[in-house]
Structure 1
Amino acid sequence: MDEGLGRTGRRVRNIAELAKLAGVSAGTVSRALAGKSLVNAETRARIQALAAEHDFRPNQMARRLRTQRTGVIGVVVPLGHERRQHISDPFFMTMLGHLADALTENGYDVMLSRIIPDAEDWLEAIVDSGMLDGVLVIGQSTQFDAIERVAGQYRPLVAWGSHWEGQVHCAIGTDNVGGGRLAGEHLIARGKRRLAFLGEVRTPEIRQRYEGVVAATAAAGLPPPLQLDTHLASDVMEHEIAAHVARIGRDIDGLACASDVIAMNALRVLADHGLSVPDAIGVVGFDDLPLAGQTVPRLTTIRQDIAAGAKAMVAALYARLAGEDSPSVEMVPVLVERDST
C-alpha cells in the first residue's frame, strides 16, 4: 500500500472532506490546521493527526488569497551597468545565499530575477505583478532613479547599495568612499606611490570606491589614481586587465580594485606576465568574499560584511511589511590585510 495514503488507502483532497471525516465544521478544520487556540488542544491534535494520516495538504493558493499575502519575496539583480554579468558571480552568490537563508527560515519563498532594464518601468512591472509580498534589490546599478520612483509608492522595497541625504528608498550598504580610502591609504603605507583603480565607475558604489582612493592619494600629496576601465563581466574581465598590464608594469606599483573578483583576476594576470605581488605591485580587493583567503598570494581586501548586510536587508523589509519605517544603514568597512600587499 502507498504509505502516503494512510491506513484507509484514501487521500483527503479538501477541507470539506477532512471536516466530514473529523465530524466538525470546515471552519474548525481550517483553524485547527492553522494552529489557532480557538480550537481546543484535543480537537486540534485529532484533526492534525487525521490530516497527516490521509496525506492532506492545505491549498496554499486559497490561503494566500484569504490573507492577501503570497508568501514570496522577490530578489532582483538589475544589470543596467553590465549586461554580460551573471548571477553566478561570486558576490551575487554570496549575497543570495545569505538572503535566501534569512527569508526561507521565516517561511517565505524566493523568486529570483536577473533584469536587463530595457524598459523604464521594469521595476513597476515587478512590484505590480501581484506575485510578491516585497522586493529586495541587489545593487542600484545605473537604476537609482527607477528605484527611487518605485519606492515613493511601494514601501516593502529594500536595496543593497549607497545612501545619499534625501534618498527615498531604504538602502543597506557599506561606506564605499571610506572603503576606497582605506585601500588607498594601505597601499601608500606599504610604500606604493603610483596607484591605479581597476573598475568601471558608472555605478554609484564603484564610483564612490574610486573617489575614496582619490581622497587617499590627495591627502598623501600623490597624483590621483589612474582609473582603468575593468568591467565586472567574467568573460571580458581577464582580457581587459591583460590589456592594462603593460601600463601597470611600467607606471603603476599599487592596484586598488573595485571588487575581489577583479583583484583575483588581476593576481592571475600579473603572475602570467611575471610581475611579482606584492614586491613589484601591491593589490587590494573589495568585498572579502570567502575566496579571498584562498588566492595565491592571499588577497588583502576591504571587508563589507555581506552576511550582516543581508540580515539587515531582510530585517528592514520585514519592518516595512509590518507597516513600520526602516532607515537606511551604512556599514563600516574594515581592512583585511593578507599577503597581496
Structure 2
Amino acid sequence: MTKSKNLTMADIAELAGVSEATVSRALKNSELINKETRARIQAIAREHNYKINTAARNFRTQKTHTIAVVLLVDKEWGHEVSDAFLMVLLGSIADEAAHHGYDLLLSTNPHDIDDLADYYIDSKRADGLIIIGQGRNDPRLDRLAESGRPFIVWGAEMPEHDYLTVGSDNRTGAFEAVSLLVRNGRKRIAFMGDARHPEMEHRLDGYCDALRAAGIPFDANLVIPTDFSRSDGYMKTGHVILDPTFKCDAIFAVSDNIVLGVMKRLSEADVKVPEEVAIVGFDDNPLAVFATPGITTVRQDIRLGGKLLVRNLLDIIRGKTVDHVAMPVELVVRESCGKA
C-alpha cells in the first residue's frame, strides 16, 4: 500500500494486523493497549501521514474529546490565576488530559454563566468539567449536580452537597501544623484565613483540634479573616498582628501566599521570625524554600491532584463509580516554625 493522506483507520488496522478499535485507542495513546503495539501503530500512522479526522470522529461518537477547566476564582478573595499553586495544578491537568487524548478548554471566572451544564456540556463545548474554586458555596455547583452532567471539583468534601471532589486532607494538615507550633512552646497561635471557603473551614477545624488536644482554650480573637493574597497578609499583619494588644507568639496561615505578606510586614517592623513570632503556612509554594527564613508549611501533592481530577472525571464520563479523594499531606519543617 502506498503512502496516502486519505488513508482510513481501517487501512491502518489492516497494515498493523489489529482491529480498528485497537488503532483508535493506540492513536489516543491509551494505556489499554500495550506499549509495543501502541508504538508500532503510531509508527505506521506517521509513515503514511495518517491524521485523525477529529470533526468526523466527534460527529460519530457525539463526543468533543475536550475537558473544560472552569476557574471559579475571584480577585476579591485574593485569588490570582497566575498563582504558583494554580499554575502547577493546571499544568498537571493539561499533561494528564493530553495523555488520555483530550484537549482542554480553560475558562476563567464565568460569573455571567448561570447554567454551567447548558453552556459547556449541552452546547458540545466539552464532555465534562473540572471546577477549581468551590468558593463560598457557589449554588451553580448544586445545580450542576442536579443536572446529572459529568463534573468534578477541586476542594473539600461536603456531605450536604451532592458532587465529587479531589483535594487534600486539610483538617489533618492544619492539625499537624498547629501541633508543631505547640510542641515548640507557642501558646497564643493566630489563625489567618477565610473560613467561609470549605477547604479553609476544614483547616480551621484542624487548628481547633490541635488547640483542644494541647489543652489550649480557643480564642475567637485570634482568628483573623484573611484572603489568599500576599497583600492581605501584609495588611492584616499591620492592622492586627502588630497591634500591641493582640500579642500572639505564632501564626498558622492557610496559604503560603499569606505567609509571604506576613513576613514582609514583620521584617519591616523588626519583629523576628521565628524568635518572636513563629509561622507555619500551607501549600508548599515554590517560593517557600527561598524565603528568609524558610517557610515551614503543609505540602499538598498538587501534581497528583491534577492527575486524579482528570482520571476521575473520565471515569465519571464512562459511567464508573468514583468516590471523593482526600490526598495525604506532608508537614515540611523549615526555619519559620521556631523548631527546637
Classify the TM-score, shorter chain.
0.7 to 0.9
Cα pair 1:81 1:202 within 8 Å, conserved: no
SS of the residue aligned with 1:132?
A: coil
Q: 2:288 aligns with which of 292, 296, 299?
A: 292
- Alignment partner, residue 75 of structure 1: 69
- Alignment partner, residue 29 of structure 2: none
Aligned residue-pair number = 312
After superposition, give the CA deviation of every residue in 1:278-328 in whole Å (9 maximum; x if it has no partner): 110111011123322221111111122212222222221121122111111
TM-score normalised by structure 1 residue count = 0.81
- Alignment partner, residue 142 of structure 2: 148
Cα pair 1:80 1:117 within 8 Å, conserved: no
Mean Cα displacement is larger for which, 184-193 or 219-228? Answer: 219-228
Cα pair 2:300 2:330 within 8 Å, conserved: yes
CA distance in 1, matches of 2:44, 2:156: 51
Cα pair 1:175 1:332 within 8 Å, conserved: yes
The alignment status of 1:165 with 2:159, answered yes or no, reads yes
Q: 2:255 aligns with which of 236, 239, 259?
A: 259
Equivalent residues in 2 for 1:158-237 (5 A)? Answer: 158-165=152-159, 167-224=161-218, 226-234=222-230, 236-237=232-233
Change (3 A) 1:31 1:146: same
Shift of 1:84: 5.4
- Alignment partner, residue 18 of structure 2: 37
Change (3 A) 1:292 1:32: farther
Cα pair 1:136 1:313 within 8 Å, conserved: yes
TM-score normalised by structure 2 residue count = 0.81
Mean Cα displacement is larger for which, 256-265 or 77-86? Answer: 77-86
SS of the residue aligned with 2:297?
A: strand
Amino acid at match of 1:238: Y
CA distance in 1, matches of 2:45, 2:172: 55
Shift of 1:70: 1.0
Cα pair 2:232 2:258 within 8 Å, conserved: no
Cα pair 1:140 1:160 within 8 Å, conserved: yes
Mean Cα displacement is larger for which, 175-184 or 94-103? Answer: 175-184
Percent identity for Structure 1 against Structure 2: 31
Where structure 1 has 5 or more consecutive residues not aligned to the other structure, the ranges are 1-7, 20-28
Cα pair 1:80 1:143 within 8 Å, conserved: no
- Alignment partner, residue 38 of structure 2: none
Where structure 2 has 5 or more consecutive residues not aligned to the other structure, the ranges are 24-40
User: Rg: which structure is higher?
Assistant: 1
- Alignment partner, residue 37 of structure 2: none
CA distance in 2, matches of 1:136, 1:206: 20
CA distance in 1, matches of 2:76, 2:196: 10
Equivalent residues in 2 for 1:243-322 (5 A)? Answer: 243-247=239-243, 250-322=246-318
After superposition, give the CA deviation of every residue in 1:229-285 in whole Å (9 maximum; x if it has no partner): 221245544333333342389511110001111112222221121111111011101
Change (3 A) 1:337 1:167: same
CA distance in 1, matches of 2:191, 2:134: 21
CA distance in 2, matches of 1:70, 1:282: 51
The alignment status of 1:138 with 2:117, answered yes or no, reads no
Cα pair 1:78 1:143 within 8 Å, conserved: no
- Alignment partner, residue 86 of structure 1: 80
Shift of 1:136: 0.9
After superposition, give the CA deviation of every residue in 1:30-65 in whole Å (9 maximum; x if it has no partner): 4335778358x9xx999957853xxx7554222211
SS of the residue aligned with 1:285?
A: strand
Change (3 A) 1:279 1:46: closer
Change (3 A) 1:184 1:136: same
Amino acid at match of 1:199: G
Shift of 1:83: 5.5
CA distance in 2, matches of 1:45, 1:87: 36
Amino acid at match of 1:180: A
Mean Cα displacement is larger for which, 112-121 or 253-262? Answer: 112-121
Cα pair 2:77 2:227 within 8 Å, conserved: no
CA distance in 2, matches of 1:46, 1:233: 49
The alignment status of 1:238 with 2:234, answered yes or no, reads yes
Change (3 A) 1:123 1:338: farther
Cα pair 2:284 2:299 within 8 Å, conserved: yes
Shift of 1:189: 0.9
Cα pair 1:76 1:114 within 8 Å, conserved: yes
- Alignment partner, residue 96 of structure 1: 90
SS of the residue aligned with 2:287?
A: helix
